[in-house]
A and B are shown apart, each in its own frame.
Chain A
Amino acid sequence: MGLVRSFPSAGSTVRGVPVFALANRIVLWAVFLTLALVCVYPMIWLFLNAFKTTNDMFAATWGLPKVWHWENFSKAWNYGISRYLLNSLIVTTATVAIELTLATMAAYALVVLDFRAKAVIYILILGGAILPPEVSLLPLFRVMAATGLYNTYFALILPNVAFGLPFTTFLIRAYMTGIPGELREAALMDGAREGRIFREIYLPLCRPVLASAGLISAMRVWNEFIFALTFVESETVKTVTIGVMSFAVALRADWGVLMAGLALSILPILATFLVMQRQFVGGLTSGAVK
């Protein structure tokens, strides 16, 4: 009873904010903060330990480094991670560029043009999303070997594009359906043909969804493992996911450098996400509410 009596009445306020609303806010903050910590703590742990020696790390895994060993990063860089990063950058950039180009054109055709079997073609494109990449590894491996693509950048770019296209097309198509058809009609009246309408009207208007789709695709390709493991073996083509694996085996004795290498491997995609997060959220939510 005493406990109940000690609660303020419904009408009380703290600095003008009703107690009920304040309690609500505190609970919400606590929940979101916990969720954020759960998501972020592996990264904090990784970056903290990237500055430590192996002994420091095992002595105080959650503590701040006693001495900040910046040289861990240069060691990791010189150990070969720079090459893997460059390869990942090439594969990711090329995949995203090809995927967005094809998906945007496919989405435009599916939204704007009138042709036979449009619905069937759309379903077939979406059907590609159902196929797990693992199922097609062996046939793809044979195709790569037969066409001489094995151990080249294309061995990673082409399958990544193929498996990314369904979702990217779906996302961009959904966004494009929200663009009023009258804009295309106005452009037709202005004398523009489909190519120009696509380039000058639809593409600029699709910028938010292109940012979202590009980012999703980039994260997928950057972290892709199975194709990278199966279709390339040369050090000159290996991407960062596979590179880091061999890096980890070689550097088992030097955890600080290993952590620095891992930190470097996620840095580009993390930076891209942070820079583009506003566009990313905008692209995913625009059109949801008029």
Chain B
Amino acid sequence: MSAPMAYMQIKGIIKRYGAMEVVRGIDIDIAEREFVVVVGPSGCGKSTLLRMIAGLEPITEGDLVIDGQRMNDVRPAERGIAMVFQSYALYPHKTVEQNMGFALKVAKTPKDEAARKIARAAEILQLGPLLKRLPRELSGGQRQRVAIGRAIVRNPKVFLFDEPLSNLDASLRLQMRIELAQLHRELQATMVYVTHDQIEAMTLADKIVVLRDGLVEQIGAPLDIYRRPANTFVAGFIGSPKMNLLKARVVTSQAGYARVDAAGLLCDVAVDRVPAVGADVTLGIRPEHLSAGPAACVQVQATERLGGVTYAYARLSDGQPLTVQLDGEHAFAADGSLAVQPQPGRAHLFSGDSGLRL
């Protein structure tokens, strides 16, 4: 069962509520079969963007194009889109089968064809034994599957997911993440997925769109964004635990390289744009890219031992916080001091003024 393929173009889309602009001109190209995750903090406009794609919110300016056809004024059901809502939005008085078959009933699909489609979706999602149950008789994960099943039976060109895992507990979230990835492989459908959880973004996406305040901060493959964040916002948002962003000063610089000093932590960083010596910059180092070494001595304030790794929450000599991830169960000196050094080639440098990558 594979979905009809579709590409989507979001061209300069703006959404205004009165004078308030919540989406401020977004351009995204989504290829056929691509799994795009739109990620950003609460209130960044990601759900509004998804609702505009779905046709549930009018687009104030810009164009939404699916397979070359402008969709701005097309009714939601006629866009070839199915949406999985954050709250699942299952019809409480209809059984699983009726929930999944409602769109087919509205479309006057012949009964045997509808039954076949429902059975197929139920098989994919392992919902067979639950077809006669009401939503209130299902667990959270099962409800989520029904919501996805309801989308699948419509055989849409594009699937939209609005934070579909946010109501599930941690273990179920992990399981559903894996199932969603499998579903994408199986259906080969174009999918747009909105979340504030950067782990979901990293694990599911072919392409991540990072949003902030209604604007795109960066678009790229998950690991590209992880390796080369475009600015301090993206650097802090993608990656767990968060990247350390330290105030630093350029000590020396030459073509493609700068040495910076962050309260005694000396670090060599590869750069595209060479900063002036003495310039204020932000040094970005992920906790997992720091290791024990002689570059700087920090004071550990608190630790978290997770067995496989140990997180040390420390401070530099000027008080700036620094998180360090160490392998295994690490022991610390009695006075709480820890000698650390950045792994070569893993640090990032951002402009002290604009926050943009150098």
* A residues apposed to B, CB below 8 Å: 180, 182-183, 185-192, 196, 200-201, 204-205
Contacts of A201 in B (CB 8 A): 91
Give chain B interface residues in 76-123, CB to chain A under 8 Å: 76-78, 81-83, 85-87, 89-93, 102-103, 106-107
The closest CB in chain B to the CB of A182 belongs to B89
19 contacts between A and B (CB under 8 A): A182-B89, A185-B76, A186-B83, A187-B91, A188-B55, A188-B56, A188-B77, A189-B55, A189-B81, A190-B102, A190-B103, A190-B154, A191-B77, A191-B103, A192-B77, A192-B106, A196-B106, A200-B102, A201-B91
Contacts of B91 in A (CB 8 A): 183, 186-187, 201
- Having A180-B87, A200-B102, one finds 7 other A-B pairs with CB under 8 Å, namely A180-B89, A183-B89, A186-B85, A189-B81, A190-B103, A191-B106, A205-B92
Contact of B44 with A by CB under 8 A: no
Contact A191 B89 (CB under 8 A): no
The closest CB in chain B to the CB of A184 belongs to B89
Determine the distance from Cα of A124 to Cα of B193 in the docked complex, in whole angstroms: 44
Contact A186 B106 (CB under 8 A): no
Interface majority SS (helix, strand, loop, mixed), chain A = helix
Determine the distance from Cα of A95 to Cα of B154 in the docked complex, in whole angstroms: 42
Contacts of B103 in A (CB 8 A): 189-191
Contacts of B83 in A (CB 8 A): 185-186, 189
In the complex with contacts A185-B56, A205-B92, A205-B93, A190-B106 CB distance below 8 A: yes
- Size category of the binding interface on chain B: 20 to 34
Determine the distance from Cα of A204 to Cα of B91 in the docked complex, in whole angstroms: 10
Contact of B54 with A by CB under 8 A: yes
The closest CB in chain A to the CB of B93 belongs to A204
The closest CB in chain B to the CB of A179 belongs to B92
Contacts of B54 in A (CB 8 A): 185, 189
Contacts of A192 in B (CB 8 A): 77, 102, 106
CB distance from A226 to the nearest CB of B (A): 40
Determine the distance from Cα of A196 to Cα of B77 in the docked complex, in whole angstroms: 14
Q: B140-162 CB contact bits vs A (8 Å, 1 = yes)? A: 00000000001000100000000
Give chain B interface residues in 168-193, CB to chain A under 8 Å: none
Contact B87 A182 (CB under 8 A): yes
Contact A189 B92 (CB under 8 A): no
Contact A185 B89 (CB under 8 A): yes
Contact of B77 among A180, A182, A183, A190 (CB under 8 A): A190
Determine the distance from Cα of A210 to Cα of B76 in the docked complex, in whole angstroms: 30
Determine the distance from Cα of A196 to Cα of B105 in the docked complex, in whole angstroms: 11
Contacts of A205 in B (CB 8 A): 92-93
Contacts of B78 in A (CB 8 A): 191
Determine the distance from Cα of A191 to Cα of B76 in the docked complex, in whole angstroms: 7
The closest CB in chain B to the CB of A181 belongs to B89
Residue from A189, A200, A204 whose CB has the most chain B CB atoms within 10 Å: A189
Q: B200-227 CB contact bits vs A (8 Å, 1 = yes)? A: 0000000000000000000000000000
Contacts of B56 in A (CB 8 A): 185, 188-189
Contact B93 A185 (CB under 8 A): no
The closest CB in chain B to the CB of A188 belongs to B76
CB distance from B271 to the nearest CB of A (A): 47
Contacts of A187 in B (CB 8 A): 91, 102
Contact A189 B87 (CB under 8 A): no
Q: B55-86 CB contact bits vs A (8 Å, 1 = yes)? A: 11000000000000000000111100111011
Contacts of B85 in A (CB 8 A): 182, 185-186
CB distance from B246 to the nearest CB of A (A): 43
CB distance from A83 to the nearest CB of B (A): 40
Contacts of B93 in A (CB 8 A): 204-205
